[in-house]
Chains A and B, each alone.
Chain A
Amino acid sequence: MNKTLSVLSLVLMISLSQPLLGQKKNPASSDSIKIPFETYKLPNGLTVILSEDHTTPTVAVDVWYHVGSKNEMPGRTGFAHLFEHVMFTGSGHVPYGLHDKLTEGVGGGNNGSTTNDRTNYYETIPSNYLESALWLEADRMGFLLDKLDIAKLNAQRDVVKNERRQSYDNQPYGRVSEIFSAAMYPKNHPYSWPVIGSMTDLSAASEEDVKAFFRLYYAPNNATLAVVGDFDPAQTKAWIQKYFVDLPQGKPLERPKVPLGNLASSKRLVYEDRVQVPRLYIQWPTVGFKHDDDYALSVMSSILSGSRTARLTKAMVYDTQKASQVAGFQDSDEDVGVFQIVVVPRPEATLTELETSVDQVLQKFISEGPTAEELQKAKSGLELSFLRGLESNLGKANQLINGAIFYGNPGQFRDDYQKTMAVTAADVKGVASQYLTRSRIVLSVVPKGKRDQASKAAESEAVSVVTGNGRGGK
């Protein structure tokens, strides 16, 4: 009883609703951008977030573990994602198949996802199946290893290899992201390998390797649970207490300081792929999403591409029509980020010409910065996309947990929104001149045998990636 009482006082202390922030720069926005929620911690370190919404008789149960591919060791890559698969194969008290039966089998759904930084698992269910969803999540958090054997591991290893074949190896331009990760960061940097891992590492993982990884990272103190939707809060808290409170706390985790990407000099690469249309990719190292420059970099993304009158799109797709498509975006993780541009040429244009066009547009943009209207247009879409994100229980759950995991504040989405609305033209000009003038990587993807189609082909270094499709392997 001692233990449980202390839980309750903790509940009382922590579960104050998020105060509404009063700052209103843009009166057109923000009043509707809110998610009422409460949050508390169990003594074993599990963070809980609850948010009621009775619009439809459904609930989302969402669990994030603060572990991703960056926590893996070189030579053992792909574990976090392999786990995402293993987590659906049953646990101590849950036979294989029951998880699906209690979710999609009752009209709901389930899935998981893995990034460099975190892994998430969720169930979307009719509200009368909430208790069983909590039971399922608690069981795999506490008792996954009870039922994990090498046969199970091998079966999911094969599935993951097929996922790799489908999403990377058999996909035109599918190797681009891993080529960039390897080229952008020093060897053994935590962001230098792909989330899905390499075929070799996936084959090499032993049962013990995998279990050790689980014990370290899949403990309540490294997890956040959100329940969003049509539920009764008192009953739900009682269930959470019942199923999660006695799961043992894991070892305290160290979060190593990860250095930002920083290229000593620019690189120029060419990769031959089974494609007919070449593509030009340019990537600059920037900052992660916790850095304040991330807001201005995101605003810059929608000024440069996305709409018809965005700078790169207008110049290259509409005016000169050298490009069929162009996209530029800030891609940020917890510790690092990159700004990337992709250009698909029209047949008559060369990648060298396109690179020159991109540079001309950027130079002009860096020197003059955005107009007031460009800034306004970039921000206007934000309110609508925030609101649409709030339509689904799962969308809300992800917003809340994202804040809790990375910032210790489930209400972070609101700060993010306000900071984005507060970005000025000078901020955007500042990040453009700071980051887009840095050393960069230019990657040309060209048809097999057409290395001469690369941008500045003579100066480009050929990348060979291990084909990794395991042909011939049994």
Chain B
Amino acid sequence: MRRQVLALTAAIVISLANLAALAQQPLDRTKVPAPGQTPVLRVPTWTRTQLSNGATLIVSERHNLPLVSFSITFVGGSNQFEPVARRGVASMTASMLTEGTTTKTGDQISDALQLLGTGVGANVSAEEGSVNFVSTAKNFDATLAIVADMMLNSTFPADALERLRGRTLVNLTQAKDQPTVVGAQVFAKILYGAAHPYGQRTTETSVKAITRDDVVAFHKAYFQPGRAIITVVGDTTPVKAKAAVEKALAAWSKGGEKPSFDYPKLPELQPAKIYLVDKPGAAQAVINIGLPGPPRNTPDYFALQVLNTILGGQFQSRLNANIREQKGYSYGVNSNFGYGKGPGAFRAGGSIFINKTDAALIEFMNELKGIVGEKPITDEEIKTAKESLIQGLPQRFASVSAISNAITSLVVQGLPDDYYQTYAKNVSAVTKEDLLRVAKKYIDLNHLAIVIVGDRSVIEAPLKATNIAPITMIDIEGNPTGASPGSSN
């Protein structure tokens, strides 16, 4: 209580001084308040050690709240470890970690975690996997013991597999009704083709084919310490965290290594084309425009970050300022680079009022032509984009799980430990010439795939009239429908 009152007294003195000044001068509200001195960037520090089983352990302290974040990240994901005919087995296996161990049923695991007040996440995505939780500091050891049991002693009951299979199939059916999901899937298929992991996805057929043996084999091959990064962030110390992890995971023996990320060659780029998926009655058209791009380790990364911030990374970026704010065709459009270990896509798009699909596509193309040179990038745009990227850095350290992600991603992507300290320098070094060069290099207007999910009867003729590119009708799997374009349904 004393401190609060003291603070108040100080406030009064200062406010009075300030008010006296105010009384003399009427407030000029047109004057934009100047920013104060840029706050010093405080990057969290961390320790990194290697456990005897080969796993990397990272610990970062943060004591403002009694919380601890824990994660085991596995380098490599479904693209590296899933057989094509068994797409979905990685996620299925991750889900089955909660279904029972040699000493506990799935219900018992769930009850124990509920009493500890936390939940455990387990998932495997395209290029990495993770088992993670956030707990109160006092419940950390107990939660970690349950997670270790799930990782090491899961029994993968056959009936649980059938239940999860049934649920996954319902989810896949529901996804077909989601125009944005369909748009994203078809876009990937068109860009990368069925032979490239980036073009593949979990299907009804692959889910139906998964056996319990597949799950057990995947578990054995994948959840190995040799490719694991264990990250503990929060109200703990490196000594305490290491002791807790070593105790809980004592039985996790050596094995596994980081996979290579050798992806097959990309299919040859096709001349620009509109791929249309018919969705009768849809109030909006979902547009995705793009082509395969560079991996995360490209030397052009910082230039591309600045470029994308200007083109479609923000609310006032060129695309959204034009298509949403000036034209009112959409609730929001954007662009991004997918990066990853392989050739992640460059993509621009959004959901568009169905009657404005053609007009919006014209504007998308205008902005893409603009960014590769027709509408030169201004110094002001560059300044704002850089400032936004640099000053946005502290947000990456705003919570224990955010810090955990920020540190872990450096290790997963093979970036230097001083990445955040040198971030501002690297962003600042990007020049106008760099931006034009990377724009021309990665936004190849002659080879864009334009994928649109919408009501064909409303949009096909207007799209054709734009003369932007020829139209091919495709189904929700990305295969040509055979219906000749131009015929009406």
Contact = CB atoms under 8 A, between A and B. Distances in A.
Interface in A152-185: 154-159, 161-163, 165-167, 169-172
Interface string A367-405: 000000100110011111001101110000000000000
B179 A380 contact: no
Nearest to B177: A172
A104 interface: yes
Counting contact residues on chain A (CB < 8 A from B), the size range is 35 or more
B316 A93 contact: no
Contact of B117 (A129, A157, A384): A384
B163 A108 contact: no
Given A32-B65, A391-B400, A471-B458, A382 B117 contact: yes
Contacts of B315: 100, 104
Interface of B: 1, 4, 7-8, 10-16, 18-19, 22-23, 27, 29-30, 32-42, 62, 64-67, 98, 106-107, 110-111, 114-119, 134-136, 138, 163, 166-167, 169-171, 173-174, 176-179, 281-284, 314-316, 321, 324-326, 328-331, 351-355, 384, 387-395, 397-400, 458
> Closest 9 CB pairs between A and B?
A107-B391, A158-B328, A57-B39, A107-B392, A469-B283, A128-B36, A380-B117, A377-B114, A308-B110
A49 to B, nearest CB: 14
A464 interface: no
A56 interface: yes
Nearest to A163: B331
A58 interface: yes
A135 interface: yes
Contacts of B42: 56-57
Contact of A107 (B64, B395, B399): B395
Contacts of A163: 331
A324 interface: yes
Contacts of A325: 167, 170
A347 B351 CA distance: 30
Interface stretch (A220-228, A232-240, A281-289): A232-240
Contact of A276 (B13, B173, B179, B326): B173
Contacts of B34: 131
Interface stretch (A10-18, A64-72, A431-439): A10-18
Given A15-B8, A346-B166, A391-B65, A169 B393 contact: no
Contact of A170 (B35, B136, B324, B351): B351
Interface in A232-290: 233-235, 237-238, 241-243, 246, 274-277
B35 A106 contact: yes
A55 B64 contact: yes
A92 interface: yes
A307 interface: yes
Given A17-B1, A172-B177, A469-B283, A246 B27 contact: yes
B483 to A, nearest CB: 20
A241 B399 contact: no
Interface of A: 1, 4, 8, 11-12, 15-17, 28, 32, 36, 38, 53, 55-58, 92-93, 97-98, 100-102, 104-108, 124, 126-132, 134-135, 139, 143, 154-159, 161-163, 165-167, 169-172, 230, 233-235, 237-238, 241-243, 246, 274-277, 307-309, 314, 317-318, 321, 324-325, 344-347, 373, 376-377, 380-384, 387-388, 390-392, 469-474
Contact of A11 (B11, B36, B117, B177): B11
A318 B37 CA distance: 58
8 contacts: A56-B397, A159-B331, A162-B329, A170-B282, A233-B11, A234-B10, A234-B11, A345-B170
A97 B177 contact: no
A133 B62 CA distance: 28
Contact of A108 (B13, B166, B391): B391
Contacts of A314: 107
A385 to B, nearest CB: 8
A321 to B, nearest CB: 6
Nearest to B12: A8
Contacts of A104: 314-316, 388
Nearest to B163: A321
B353 A155 contact: no
Contacts of A472: 355
A126 B114 contact: no
Contact of B177 (A57, A106, A156, A274): A274
A126 to B, nearest CB: 5
Contact of B18 (A154, A158, A238, A376): A238
